[in-house]
């Protein structure tokens, strides 16, 4: 599967852009009133959030090109440059995400972002260290794991319709507390769902390799 991955890479790349750009666009206005989440006035929450989103987007873009063989094999200098940008972006975004946890709406969201941030930072650090030590096979595995954590932002949003349907089925094909409550509950668990899904897929792919 790891060899076949680049053949479908551009499809995944386009899907990721379609999902993330509309989500990110309101924050590029630098107007807190356009935020998709409640911003606490007089705090650093909004600057932290914007910086986290922008650096995560840079990590997403550079991460995709890390796995393009034409760059990785034929232009190793560009591959290393993009790799450094990816690592810096992940560390900046991951650390900012840890700071944003204190402004999370509830404990469920706070813990999901905490685990995701720590997993993202750890896998990226391992990918960086294995590259420095010239352990290239391990480096590739850890960078795949790291990029899977980067893609949680995508998979978590793509899973929302499936989670809404699951909620509807589990509640006897009804919405006893209304759609607004259901959406709120789904958005409390979609990060967990995306994290678990990406972890399972990546580990399965690595083991199959």
Q: What is the pLDDT of residues 38-72, one digit of tens each?
A: 899 999 999 999 999 999 999 999 999 988 888 88
- Number of domains forming the structure of the chain: 1
Q: Above 70 in pLDDT, residue 129?
A: yes
Tell me if 207 is assigned to some domain. no
Print the domain residue range for 29.
7-151
What is the reported pLDDT for 3? 43
Q: Indicate whether 73 belongs to any domain.
A: yes
In this structure, is residue 118 part of a structural domain? yes
CATH of the domain at 92: 1.20.120
Pick the more confident residue, 179 or 50.
50
Judge whether 157 lies within some domain: no
Lowest average pLDDT, out of 50-54, 175-179, 180-184, 188-192, goes to: 175-179
* Residue 165 in domain: no
Compute the distance between CA of residue 48 and CA of residue 182 in angstroms, rounded to an integer: 28
* Residue 133 within any structural domain of the chain: yes
Residue 176 lies in a domain: no
Q: What angle do CA 172, 175, 179 make, to 5 degrees?
A: 155
Confidence of residue 118 (pLDDT cuts 50, 70, 90): very high
Confidence of residue 7 (pLDDT cuts 50, 70, 90): low
Does residue 179 belong to any structural domain of this protein? no
CA 189 vs. chain centroid, Å, equals 15
Are the C-beta atoms of 141 and 206 separated by less than 8 Å?
yes
């Amino acid at each position: 599967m790891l060899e076949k991955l680049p053949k479908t890479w551009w499809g995944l790349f386009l899907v990721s852009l379609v999902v993330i750009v509309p989500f990110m666009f309101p924050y590029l206005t630098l107007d807190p009133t356009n935020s998709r989440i409640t911003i606490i006035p007089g705090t650093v929450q909004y600057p932290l959030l914007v910086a986290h989103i922008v650096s995560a987007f840079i990590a997403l873009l550079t991460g995709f090109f890390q796995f393009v063989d034409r760059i990785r094999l034929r232009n190793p200098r560009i591959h290393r440059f993009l790799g450094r940008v990816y690592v810096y972006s992940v560390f900046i975004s991951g650390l900012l995400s840890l700071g944003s946890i204190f402004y999370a709406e509830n404990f469920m969201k706070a813990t999901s972002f905490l685990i995701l941030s720590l997993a993202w930072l750890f896998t990226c650090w391992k990918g960086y260290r294995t590259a420095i030590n010239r352990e290239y096979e391990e480096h590739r595995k850890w960078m795949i794991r790291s990029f899977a954590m980067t893609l949680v932002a995508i998979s978590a949003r793509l899973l929302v319709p499936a989670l809404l349907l699951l909620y509807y089925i589990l509640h006897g094909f009804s919405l006893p507390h209304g759609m607004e409550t259901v959406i709120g509950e789904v958005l409390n668990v979609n990060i967990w769902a995306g994290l678990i899904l990406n972890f399972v897929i990546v580990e399965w792919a690595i083991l199959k390799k």
